[in-house]
A and B are shown apart, each in its own frame.
Chain A
Amino acid sequence: MLSPSDFLSIPLDDWVNSLVRDWLVPNFRPFFRSLQWPVTQVLKSLTGFLGATPMVVFTAVLSLVAWRTAGKGVALFTLLALCFIDAIGLWPETMTTLAMVVTAVFFCIVIGIPLGVLASRSDVFRAILRPILDIMQTIPSFVYLVPIVMLFGVGMAPGIIATIIFALPPIIRLTDLGIRDVRNDLTEAAVSFGATPWQMLMEVQFPLALRTVMAGLNQTLMLALSMVVITAMIGAGGLGLTVFTGLGRLDVGGATAGGVGIVLLAIILDRISQALTEKRSVQSPSLLQTMRGFFATRRPVPLEEPERAG
């Protein structure tokens, strides 16, 4: 049978090799290395903080947060799950993983929300961004682990960078979607009162898109957790490493313990972040209110009085 390879062969692998090895690595390695710096700083302070917090204090605080946001059930689950993790001897690994995930999510927010806002404002930018996001979501992460190691080296920070690449798309997409979904007459009203584009974003669009943005954040968080084991392959620690080591030594018990730890952490983070999404659907996003929400029970809204006639 006739096939195109009889006449034409494209050495894609050679091209990529020479692009990465002969051009990117020698020329841009210092640049990529310097990108690690902010990641390392955030990670360091988080790891330091979580490492220094006693298990009992951390468990109490997180359970309290779960109670205020997601209710009694989730709070009880959080308490039991964290005690269980401690009991199976994986507390330090869990804290490392938590620090990594939170760092990755932090950078996803810092990068993703502005990109999402830009995408919502410009159709051109969105058209360019979309295929990139598609690639980021579909390309197997093993494919970019190698160039990441070549450019960034091995360790925690490169692992977090791989996690950011993997977990970034949902928050960008849902920020874009949330802002585009804001009712047209509301943006029109804001313009009619003389709002500048920035005022419009901060006063109307972003607060109203917040619920969707939070849903994106929840997805980003879950994706970041799912990268934990994979990043262990390039030298990141935590629960992923426990699983990865267990895998290498055919230590079924060790791998299972690490896996259970990841699942429990995932459920806790998922429930709390989902509760945040639902609760603040129409409320003002101010930090003060959020903090107040943690400590004060919400009064039920008084029933509507009938329309006054005349």
Chain B
Amino acid sequence: MTTKISAKNIFKIFGNNPDQALGLLQKGQSKEEIYASTGQTVGVDDVSFEVAEGEVFVVMGLSGSGKSTLVRMINGLIKPSAGEMLIDDIDVASCSRDVLRRVRREKVAMVFQHFALFPHRTVAENVAFGLKIRGVKPDERRERAQAALEQVGLGTRGDSFPDELSGGMQQRVGLARGLASEPEILLMDEPFGALDPLIRSDMQQELLELQRSLKKTIVFITHDLNEALILGNTIAIMRNGSMVQIGTAEQIVSNPADDYVAAFTRDVDRSLVFTAQSIADPAQPLDLANTDATAALAHMETHGLDAVHMVDHGKLAGIVTYRDANTAVRDDVALKHIMQEDMPTASAETLLVDLYPLAEKGLPIALTDDEDRLDGVVAPQAVFAQLSNGKQ
């Protein structure tokens, strides 16, 4: 995957003499010392990261952590005091105003926390704003705005004014406005922060669905770790202007970099983070064609299994439990007859939350790929163990 955005040693000082503060920072002074001696605030402190094309990169942090400042430096709304911010090969921190304007018109669109819809324009005009700024003809503008509105499920509300819509609908309009100019990068600054919880989770699901087909590069800002874990391919955690940890959801929850991150992850719903893959054992299936009940029983005894999966020509065929195998040996019944074809299956990417009901049956869960081949096995106990893990 190619790198779309690359931030290199970004600093942002708020104050009248950033160079002085940068010098002090390099001498190892803390942010508090710099504020005490110069009255300047270090907003972002030596942040570097890379965002790959097509991924959702979530920056998570509490208010005042510098995350909103950081996202505004990606489209040049705020100029870094030092460092490079590369979008493809353009450094938006140092390029000319014309180049920056072209980047904003063609490559990057932004969605705002409080929607920032223009109250004097209709929904359709709001959505077409970026196109109008770019000089697209009215007919084409209207068509593309309508298409963008349909993408977010508001195809019929084009003639309404923003204040006639509910909060969730307004943010859909904000999203449509971002999508209408067909940018390569979408910056989302706490877009669901002002919505109530139910609507927020609807919007998260819709964004995920949209992203599946759009494959935009998204930089998403949030203060809610659960939201970060649901949406992010990569998650960056910011604290006090610095990047504390960058990693996948699983990496962050299973290996928090410090106590600060650990404190956040403690309350996380682990069932929404971990996939079946993370707790799977390697599969040890038996081939239905050349195994009898005795062999199956022996296999389970050596490996300490309660049940074993059977494959037929490489494909998953069914499951044989220890008890059934025992009975079969005693009564001399063919393995085929005691094999259960109805068994819990899932895929490697299934989240624990969806695995949980399957685990309740007490049978090991078969993880299969698209062609019904057995990838691994999840023991039901492993699901419960992972879910209770990390909860004191």
Contact = CB atoms under 8 A, between A and B. Distances in A.
Instruction: Report whether chain A binds chain B.
Output: yes
Given A193-B104, A193-B129, A301 B77 contact: no
Interface string B153-171: 1000000010111101100
B133 A203 contact: yes
Interface stretch (A34-42, A101-109, A194-202): A194-202
B129 A304 contact: no
Contacts of A304: 164-166
A283 B120 contact: yes
Contact of A194 (B114, B130, B161, B202): B130
B379 to A, nearest CB: 34
Interface string A234-265: 00000000000000000000000000000000
Q: Which of B105, B118, B163 has the most CB of A within 10 A?
A: B118
Contacts, number: 76
Given A193-B105, A194-B105, A199-B133, A307 B199 contact: yes
Interface residues of A, number: 28
B198 interface: yes
Contacts of B120: 207-208, 282-285
A284 B119 CA distance: 9
Interface in A187-238: 188-196, 199, 203-204, 207-208
Given A192-B109, A284-B121, A203 B75 contact: no
Contacts of A54: none
Interface in B83-113: 101-106, 108-110, 112-113
A190 B105 CA distance: 10
- Which of under 10, 10 to 19, 20 to 34, or 35 or more describes the interface residues of B? 35 or more
A186 B118 contact: yes
A283 B169 CA distance: 20
Contacts of A186: 116, 118
A185 interface: yes
A284 B121 CA distance: 7
Interface string B324-358: 00000000000000000000000000000000000
A140 interface: no
B202 A195 contact: no
Nearest to A191: B77
B90 to A, nearest CB: 14
A193 B164 contact: no
Shortest beta-carbon contacts, A-B, top 7:
A194-B105, A194-B104, A189-B116, A185-B116, A193-B130, A192-B110, A307-B166
Given A190-B129, A192-B104, 20 more contacts: A188-B77, A188-B116, A191-B77, A192-B109, A192-B110, A193-B181, A194-B104, A194-B133, A195-B133, A199-B133, A203-B133, A207-B120, A208-B119, A282-B120, A284-B121, A304-B165, A306-B166, A307-B166, A307-B168, A308-B153
Interface of B: 75, 77, 101-106, 108-110, 112-114, 116, 118-121, 129-130, 132-134, 153, 161, 163-166, 168-169, 181, 187, 198-199, 202
Interface of A: 183, 185-186, 188-196, 199, 203-204, 207-208, 282-285, 301, 304, 306-310
